[in-house]
Amino acid sequence: PSPRSYQPHGASEEALRYEIEELKQKDLALDQEIAQLLTEGYSLEELEKHISLLHEYNDIKDAGQMLLGKLAVIRGVTTKQLYPEYDLELSD
C-alpha cells in the first residue's frame, strides 16, 4: 500500500486534486511543445517515428547495461571499470 492510503480522507482528496492539476499542466506543456514542433515543420508521423526510435534505443541501452552489470559481477569489478575496456564513455 502507498503512504497515501494511510492519510485522512480529506488529505488524500487534496493530494489527488493537486496531482490532477500537475498532470493537466504537464499535458498542456506537452501540447504546446507538439504545436511548436509542428510549426517548425515536423509532422506527427515523424515525431511518432522519433519517439519509437528513442524507445528502441533505450531498450537496447538497458539491455547493454544489464549485460555489463552481469559481466562486472562475474569479474568481480564495477560496471564503471568495464567502460574503458569497451571504449564506452561514462556519459553513455
10 Å CB burial of residue 82 (0-12, 13-18, 19+) is middle
Q: What are phi and psi of 15, to 5 degrees?
A: -65, -40
Question: Global pTM?
Answer: 0.54
Residue type, 45: E
Quote the mean pLDDT of the chain.
87
Is pLDDT at 35 greater than 80 in this prediction? Answer: yes
Cα dist. 8→1, 2, 17 in Å? 14, 13, 14
- pLDDT exceeds 60 at position 65: yes
pLDDT per residue as tens digits for the range 16-32: 899 999 999 999 999 99
**pLDDT-based confidence at residue 89 (cuts at 50, 70, 90):** confident
